[in-house]
Every structure is written in structure tokens, then in C-alpha cells.
């Protein structure tokens, strides 16, 4: 099976793995040390991250070096864009976003 971007991010341990890769390439055992679960678990998390497009692998001798890829982060960012108006109150140069939201707002509240 193949988890989508958000499902992939749902597991805290997996986010720690992502965090461990935040500063550059790492081999599996480095991550094992950092997140504190069994090596097999880390391998599996990396597999899931790979399937979801979060990481690239590069063989280096007997090791495999994992690193982050941008695509799914961008996907989250895009998803977030829809909701930015919620907390970016002042519409400095984000007028377009809010405007778009206003346009399609329904009023269902009134009929009572």
C-alpha cells in the first residue's frame, strides 16, 4: 500500500525521521540512533517516505544515503494556501486569496 502525503506525515516517529534528514543526507543507522526505534522500523519508515516522494536514496557502498525531496512539502504548502486567509489577517499582498474566498461563500445561516 501507499500512504498519501498527509498520512505519511501523521506518524510522529516518521516526522522525526524527516527531521533527521532536514540537515542533509543520512544513512539508516544514523537515523536509528537519532529516533530510537529498531533499525527495521526505520527502514520501513524510509520506505514509506520514499513511496510518498519524501526522500531520495543514493547507494554509497554498502550504505544507502537518504535525503529529502521537495515535492510533498510543496504539496502541503499548496494545500495550506487555501487556508492562509484564516490567519493572515492583513491582506497586504494576499488580497487575491481572500477575494477568491469571498466570492464563493454561501449563506446558509440566514434562513432561521
Partner DNA sequence: ACATCATATGCATATAGGTGCATATGCATA
Partner DNA sequence: TATGCATATGCACCTATATGCATATGATGT
Distance of alpha carbon 68 from alpha carbon 58, whole angstroms? 11
The least distance separating DNA from the CB of residue 4, rounded to whole angstroms, comes to 8
- Cα distances from 83 to residues 16, 72, 80, 98, in angstroms, run 25, 18, 5, 9
Q: Which is nearer to DNA, 40 or 104 (CB)?
A: 40
Distance of alpha carbon 43 from alpha carbon 88, whole angstroms? 39
Residues at the interface with its own copies (CB under 8 A): 4, 6-7, 9-10, 12, 15, 18-19, 22-27, 30, 60-61, 63, 65, 68-71, 73-74, 76-77, 80, 82-84, 86-88, 92-93, 96, 100-101, 104-109, 112
Amino acid at each position: 500500500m501507499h500512504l498519501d502525503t498527509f498520512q505519511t506525515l501523521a506518524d510522529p516517529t516518521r516526522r522525526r525521521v524527516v527531521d533527521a534528514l532536514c540537515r542533509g543526507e543520512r544513512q539508516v543507522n544514523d537515523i536509528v540512533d537519532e529516533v530510537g526505534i529498531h533499525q527495521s522500523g526505520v527502514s520501513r519508515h524510509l520506505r514509506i517516505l520514499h513511496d510518498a516522494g519524501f526522500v531520495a536514496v543514493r547507494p554509497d557502498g554498502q550504505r544507502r544515503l537518504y535525503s529529502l525531496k521537495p515535492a510533498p512539502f510543496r504539496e502541503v504548502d499548496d494545500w495550506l494556501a487555501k487556508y492562509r486567509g484564516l490567519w493572515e489577517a492583513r491582506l497586504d499582498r494576499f488580497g487575491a486569496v481572500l477575494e477568491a474566498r469571498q466570492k464563493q461563500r454561501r449563506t446558509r445561516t440566514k434562513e432561521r
